[in-house]
């Protein structure tokens, strides 16, 4: 089975944050004149009165969208707000027809493992032949593998050198088609 060069996941460490790596990758791609669409997760909403602790940041505009909902201090449920995540997903989907160089989906996580989240971004981007870069923690690696099935995506180490090499190789391969 061969790897689908258009799809890569960074093997993220649950203990560490993947966002600094995405920041390096995005800055390098921008410096090279590449167009990138998508969102990366940030740990906190710093707006006054904002109860949410997680926001999604648009990699093009910098807009931050809080994606958590307050379920009360005793709640044990996931606080991800599906409506807000749907807004983020719709935003990316609306920009894919412009055929950016790469789409970034911060991570394949619980929502995607459960069958929702930003799965439509993966699917639409690949249908349009737009490479997709994401991250996947160990907890969701088996769900990721089941989801992508026969595509056999590339699994990258959390290294700027390795991720940028994949980006450049993928863009070169895309141009050659």
pLDDT digits (tens, 9 = 90+) for 50-79: 444 788 899 999 999 888 766 555 544 456
> 38, exposed or middle or buried, with CB in 10 Å at 0-12, 13-18, 19+?
buried
- Of residues 79 and 45, which shows the higher confidence score? 79
Please tell me whether residue 9 adopts helix, strand or coil conformation: strand
Phi, psi of 37 (to 5 degrees): -120, 155
Domains delineated in the chain: 4-40+82-176 (3.40.50)
Report the C-alpha gap between 169 and 177 in whole angstroms: 13
How many CB atoms are located within 10 Å of the residue 100 CB? 21
Average pLDDT for 100-116: 91
Residue-level pLDDT at 153: 72
């Amino acid at each position: 089975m061969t790897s689908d060069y258009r799809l890569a996941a960074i093997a993220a460490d649950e203990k560490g944050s993947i966002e600094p790596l995405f920041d390096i990758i995005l800055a390098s791609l921008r410096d090279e004149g590449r167009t990138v669409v998508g969102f990366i997760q940030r740990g906190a909403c710093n707006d006054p009165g904002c109860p949410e602790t997680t926001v999604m940041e648009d990699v093009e505009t910098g807009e931050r969208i809080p994606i958590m909902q307050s379920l009360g201090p005793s709640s044990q449920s996931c606080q991800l707000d599906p409506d807000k995540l749907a807004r983020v997903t719709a935003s990316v989907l609306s920009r894919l027809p412009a055929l950016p160089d790469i789409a970034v989906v911060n991570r394949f996580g619980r929502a995607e493992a459960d069958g929702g989240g930003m799965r439509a971004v993966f699917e639409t981007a690949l249908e349009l032949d737009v490479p997709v870069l994401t991250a996947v923690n160990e907890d969701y690696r088996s769900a990721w593998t089941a989801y992508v099935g026969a595509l056999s995506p590339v699994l990258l180490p959390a290294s700027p050198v390795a991720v940028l090499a994949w980006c450049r190789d993928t863009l070169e391969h895309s141009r050659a088609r």
